[in-house]
Structure 1
Amino acid sequence: MLLTTLTTKLSRASIAVLALMTAAVSAEVVFYRYIDKDGVPVISSKIPPEYAQKGYEVVTPSGRVVRVVKPAPTDAEKENLRSKAELAKWDAELRRRYSSVKEIKLAKQRKLESIDGSIQILKGNIGGIDTRIHQKRMEAANLERAGREVGEGLLKQLEELKHKREVTVTRIEKRERERQALIDKFDQDIERFGVITGRRES
């Protein structure tokens, strides 16, 4: 009697273990259902990368859908998502930094005053360089009139001054481009702030 009972329990336990193992194996077996190049649905244990990008379903052997994988976004969709994210970031930054259009205009004025100041300093430097170039040229001209040779040192100084002038002019042009970019950015901020808040006061 005891042996029979023990055997029955073992049999039931074995059946339970077997059932669990079968369920586990079944749970691991899945297939991929996708649409091929001819528009025909295909069910396979593997999915080619080019079709995976277009979206597919993960299904069980019985055909039950376990998971749906959406198609990868197109380049245009990615750009649209990126643009929306950037726009949201811009809006949040404007709301965080300013409470009115007037504040944006005051910030614009301060920035422009700063960059205008640096441009004026550079232009002043140009004036000083031009004065020194004129002086060195006069020295060279006086030497030539006196029948003397213009020394290498003087010629080198002239070349260095000319180079310094070119560098300074380039810096001025760069600052002027930055000034225009600054104006454009603040004007865009003012316009966008008006859109998201409905406030367009001057």
Structure 2
Amino acid sequence: MHKSALTRCSLLLGLLLPVVAGATELYRYVDDKGTTVLSRQGVPPEHIGKGYEVLNDQGRVVKVIPPAPSAEEMKHILAEKARASSDAQLLRFYSTPEDVERARQRKLAELDGLIGVARGNLQSVRTQQANLQSQAANHERAGRAVPANLLAQIDSQKVEQERLKSDILRYQAMRKAADSSFNADRDRLKVLMGRN
């Protein structure tokens, strides 16, 4: 009997001690078995991600901690943040869709200029190669060996042609990407400004 009363007192003291110590909050969460648990010790780490509620000493909910987002929800949240950041940057760079169009025209003109220069250089290199090959043919018709430096120059012109062709393709790809990007920016800015 004495032992039973002592146990009850210890149990009561255990329940009252957190209140006396100032820990008046209760935490309500659902465990792995689906049981709702009330605890003064807090929420175990393995249950925090599922969300929980904080109750005051009268049992009223004072704070709700929502469940952590799923991987798919987190992906969506991050995509929305990236879109918001991109929109804010777009609005900082351009005042109107017309500003985007002017920037697009400038960029395309710049890339068209680079393509034109590369094409001009390519034509020039082809002409030089044709002249060098003509010189090599003259040596062969005269029965002389083609000088090594002439062969090296012809090879060098071939390499330069391939480099210039590669540059032209790269500039064309850049032009296409820039055109697409500016068009998307212009259309997005129209949406942001309500000018569909």
Give the structure-1-normalised TM-score: 0.70
Aligned equivalent of 1:176: 172
2:30–2:37 contact (8 Å) kept in structure 1 = yes
What letter matches 1:173 in structure 2?
Answer: L
Name stretches of at least 5 consecutive residues in structure 1 with no aligned partner.
1-18
Q: Distance in 2 between matches of 1:174 and 1:59?
A: 63
What letter matches 1:76 in structure 2?
Answer: E
Distance 1:43 1:161, change over 3 A: farther
Aligned equivalent of 1:187: 183
Residue-by-residue CA offset, 1:142-176 (whole Å, 9 max, x unaligned): 11112222232222222222111111111111111
Alpha-carbon distance, 1:97 to partner: 2.6
Q: Distance in 2 between matches of 1:149 and 1:182?
A: 51
The answer on 1:72 being equivalent to 2:65 is no
Q: Select 2:97's aligned residue among 78, 101, 119.
A: 101
Residue-by-residue CA offset, 1:17-72 (whole Å, 9 max, x unaligned): xx999844x74xx9884432x545578978465x5544456789xx9989754333
Corresponding residue pairs, total: 178
Alpha-carbon distance, 1:120 to partner: 0.7
SS across alignment from 1:73: coil
Q: Select 2:155's aligned residue among 156, 159, 162.
A: 159
The answer on 1:89 being equivalent to 2:96 is no
Q: Distance in 2 between matches of 1:154 and 1:116?
A: 34
Distance 1:127 1:65, change over 3 A: same
Alpha-carbon distance, 1:127 to partner: 0.9
The answer on 1:138 being equivalent to 2:142 is no
What letter matches 2:131 in structure 1?
Answer: Q
Distance 1:146 1:192, change over 3 A: same
Q: Which moved more, 1:147-156 or 1:103-112?
A: 147-156
SS across alignment from 1:133: helix
Q: Distance in 2 between matches of 1:155 and 1:186?
A: 46
Q: Select 1:126's aligned residue among 115, 122, 126.
A: 122
Percent of aligned positions that are identical = 36
What letter matches 1:89 in structure 2?
Answer: S
2:118–2:168 contact (8 Å) kept in structure 1 = yes
SS across alignment from 1:147: coil
1:104–1:190 contact (8 Å) kept in structure 2 = yes
Alpha-carbon distance, 1:199 to partner: 2.3
What letter matches 2:155 in structure 1?
Answer: E
